[in-house]
Amino acid sequence: MAVFALVDANSFYASCEITFNPALEGRPVVVLSNNDGCIVAANKIAKDLAKQYSQNYGRGGYQSAKPTNMMFQPYFKVAKFLERFNTAVFSSNYELYGDMSARMHRMLGEFASHQEIYSIDESFLDFSGMQKWNLTEYAQTIKQTIKQTIQQGLGLPVAVGIGHSKTLAKLANHLAKKMDGYNGVLDLTALSEPIVNNLLSRIQVGDVWGVGRKLSEQLISMKINSALDLKQADLKSIRKRFSVVMERTVLELNGQACLALEEVPPAKKQIISSKSFGQSVSSLDYLEQAVATYTTRASEKLRAQGSVCQYISVAIRTNPFNERESFYANHHTYGLVYPTDSTILLVKMAKRALKRIYQPDLNYHKAAITLSDIQPKGAMQLDVFAQDPKFSANPKSDALMAVMDKINQTMGRGSVQLAAEGLHHKAHWEMRRNHCSPRYTTRIDEILTVN
Evaluate whether residue 437 is within a structural domain: no
Distances (CA, A) of 180 to 137, 157, 162, 186: 17, 15, 17, 11
User: Would you state the pLDDT for residue 391?
Assistant: 47
In terms of domains, do 178 and 232 share one? yes
Number of domains making up the chain: 3
pLDDT digits (tens, 9 = 90+) for 67-117: 356 777 889 888 988 999 999 999 999 989 999 999 999 999 999 999 999
Amino acid (one-letter) located at 361: D
Closest CA to 103 of 443, 446, 442, 450: 442
Evaluate whether residue 75 is within a structural domain: yes
In terms of domains, do 308 and 356 share one? yes
Amino acid (one-letter) located at 169: A
CA distance linking residue 217 with residue 204, whole number of Å? 11
CA gyration radius for the chain?
25
In terms of domains, do 70 and 52 share one? yes
CA distance linking residue 405 with residue 416, whole number of Å? 9
CATH number reported for the structural domain that contains residue 277 in this entry? 3.30.1490.100
Evaluate whether residue 23 is within a structural domain: no
User: Would you state the pLDDT for residue 290?
Assistant: 93
Query: How is residue 199 annotated by DSSP?
Result: H
Long-range contacts of 393-400, Cβ-Cβ distance < 8 Å, separation of 24 or more: 393/337, 393/338, 393/340, 394/342, 394/345, 397/340, 397/342, 397/344, 397/345, 400/344
Tell me whether residue 311 is exposed, middle or buried, using C-beta atoms within 10 angstroms of its C-beta: 0 to 12, 13 to 18, 19 or more: middle
Query: Residue 329: CA atoms inside 13 Å, Cβ hemisphere, count?
Result: 9
Evaluate whether residue 259 is within a structural domain: no
In 302-363, at which residue ranges do the beta strands (DSSP E only) sit?
A: 307-318, 329-340
CA distance linking residue 204 with residue 267, whole number of Å? 33
CB 161 within 8 A of CB 167: no
In terms of domains, do 185 and 300 share one? no
Nearest 10 degrees: Cα torsion 212, 218, 223, 227? -20
Evaluate whether residue 45 is within a structural domain: yes
Domain encompassing residue 41? 28-86
- Count helices and strands in the chain by DSSP H and E runs: 14, 13
In terms of domains, do 319 and 415 share one? yes
In terms of domains, do 149 and 231 share one? yes
In terms of domains, do 105 and 74 share one? no
- Residue ending a domain, among 253, 282, 299, is 253
Evaluate whether residue 81 is within a structural domain: yes
Evaluate whether residue 82 is within a structural domain: yes
Q: Which residues of the chain have pLDDT under 50?
A: 58-67, 389, 391-392
- Residue ending a domain, among 206, 221, 253, is 253
User: Would you state the pLDDT for residue 218?
Assistant: 92
pLDDT digits (tens, 9 = 90+) for 305-348: 999 999 999 999 999 988 888 999 999 999 998 899 999 999 99
User: Would you state the pLDDT for residue 431?
Assistant: 79
User: Would you state the pLDDT for residue 378?
Assistant: 77
In terms of domains, do 114 and 227 share one? yes
Q: Helix H segments across 280-337? A: 284-304
User: Would you state the pLDDT for residue 43?
Assistant: 92
Enter the pTM of the model. 0.81
In terms of domains, do 131 and 186 share one? yes
Evaluate whether residue 439 is within a structural domain: no
In terms of domains, do 323 and 421 share one? yes
Q: Helix H segments across 373-419? A: 396-411
In terms of domains, do 283 and 235 share one? no
User: Would you state the pLDDT for residue 424?
Assistant: 62
Closest CA to 292 of 337, 348, 340, 331: 348
CA distance linking residue 212 with residue 230, whole number of Å? 13
CATH number reported for the structural domain that contains residue 117 in this entry? 3.30.70.270
In terms of domains, do 161 and 49 share one? no
